[in-house]
Homo-oligomer: A and B are copies of this chain.
C-alpha cells in the first residue's frame, strides 16, 4: 500500500497552519467564550410549528424570511444582507471572493489571521497603540504600502473590549481602495451607535453582525451588511444551503422576542459596571474599559490566577502571550458573577 505524506500534499500555506484548539475544561461557571448567560425560553420556541416541520427538505437557500426580518430590524435593504453560518463563514467568503492582502490590528479576533492563512492570503498585522486604539499612522502606512483588499476592524474589539475611535476608523476607510469590514459582533453591548448609519456614505464599508453574543451561539447565524454590489460578489462563493433550516427559523423567533433580548443585554451591561468595580478592588489595578460583554483585566501572575480559578470551578480566558498578564472574563448572570468574584478573591488575593 502506498504511504502518503498528507502534510506535504497540502498547499504550502496549510502546512504550518494550526487548527483552532478547543480544549474542554470542566467548570461550574463558564465565562470564557463571550456567550450570553441567558437563553430564550427554548421550550416555547420549539413549540412554534414552523420549526418542527420538514426536516427532509433543504433549507431556503436565500433565507428570505430571515433576511426580511433583519432588513426591517436594521433598516437596510434585503439585497444589502448576506447570511452566514456564523460570522466566521462570512469572513471565509469575503477572503475567498476578494483575496488578500488582509490587514487587521492586533490583538484582535484570531479568525481574521487563521482564515487568511487557510485561504493562502497574506495577513498583515499592525499592533494597536498603548490605549488599544488604532495606530492611525501605522495603519495608513500599511494601507499605502500593501493596498489591502480587505481590512478587518473589530469594534468593540475582542479581546480588548474598547471601541476604536470613529475618526481613526473613518480615516482608514477613506484611505482604503479595498473593503473595510467593521466587525460589530459586540455592538449591542456598546454605548456607541456603530457604523450602520454610515453605510450610505462609504461604499467600501461593510459590517458584520452576529446572534452568537446575544443568546444564540448554538445556531451559528452571522450577517454581512454592505453595498449590494459587494454582497453580490460575496454571494457567488457562498454555498447555496449554508444556513440550515432550524437556525433560520429559530433566528426568526429570536427577532420576535427582541424586547426580551434587549432587557437581557441591559442586565449584562449593568452587571459589567458592577464587575468592573469589583475587579478594580480585587486586583488593585483598573480593568480596561469595556463596550462589550466581557472585561479584560490585568492580574499579577495571571496564569496562576487562571489555573486557580479553574480549580474553583470558574473558566475564563487566559490571553497568554497576546497581552501579558491579562485575563478576559465574560459577563455572566449576577449569580455567576458573584461566584466568579468570590473565586477571584480567593485566587488573586490582594486588596479587598
| Chain A residues proximal to chain B, CB less than 8 Å | 1-7, 9-11, 14, 17-20, 22, 30, 33, 35-40, 42-43, 45-46, 51-59, 61-62, 85-86, 88-89, 92, 96-99, 111, 115, 118-119, 149, 178-179, 201-204, 212, 215-220, 227, 229-230, 232-233, 235-242, 244-247, 250
Contact = CB atoms under 8 A, between A and B. Distances in A.
Given A4-B227, A230-B6, A58 B218 contact: yes
Contacts of A40: 55
Contacts of A111: 239
Contacts of A237: 14, 17, 118
A232 B6 contact: yes
B9 A35 contact: no
Q: How many copies does the complex hold?
A: 2
A235 B118 CA distance: 11
7 contacts: A4-B204, A4-B230, A11-B97, A20-B239, A42-B54, A85-B242, A219-B246
A237 B216 CA distance: 24
Given A1-B203, A2-B203, A204-B2, A92 B239 contact: yes
Given A46-B52, A52-B46, A241 B88 contact: yes
Contact of A227 (B6, B52, B54, B58): B6
A56 B35 contact: yes
Nearest to A47: B46
A36 B56 contact: yes
B56 A215 contact: yes
A96 B245 CA distance: 26
A61 B20 contact: yes
Contacts of A219: 55, 244-246
A45 B162 CA distance: 43
A39 B54 contact: yes
B218 A9 contact: no
A309 to B, nearest CB: 19
Given A39-B56, A233-B6, A98 B11 contact: yes
Nearest to A58: B217
Contact of A212 (B2, B46, B58, B250): B58
Nearest to A84: B239
A311 to B, nearest CB: 22
A10 B241 CA distance: 22
A295 B247 CA distance: 32
A48 to B, nearest CB: 10
Contacts of A62: 22
B57 A201 contact: no
A43 B212 CA distance: 26
A30 B204 CA distance: 41
Contacts of A202: 1-2
A154 B7 CA distance: 25
Contacts of A212: 58
Query: 3 closest Cβ contacts across the A-B interface?
Result: A218-B245, A20-B240, A22-B61
Nearest to A88: B239
Given A11-B99, A35-B58, 10 more contacts: A4-B230, A10-B233, A17-B236, A19-B235, A39-B55, A39-B56, A56-B218, A85-B85, A96-B118, A96-B119
A58 B62 CA distance: 24
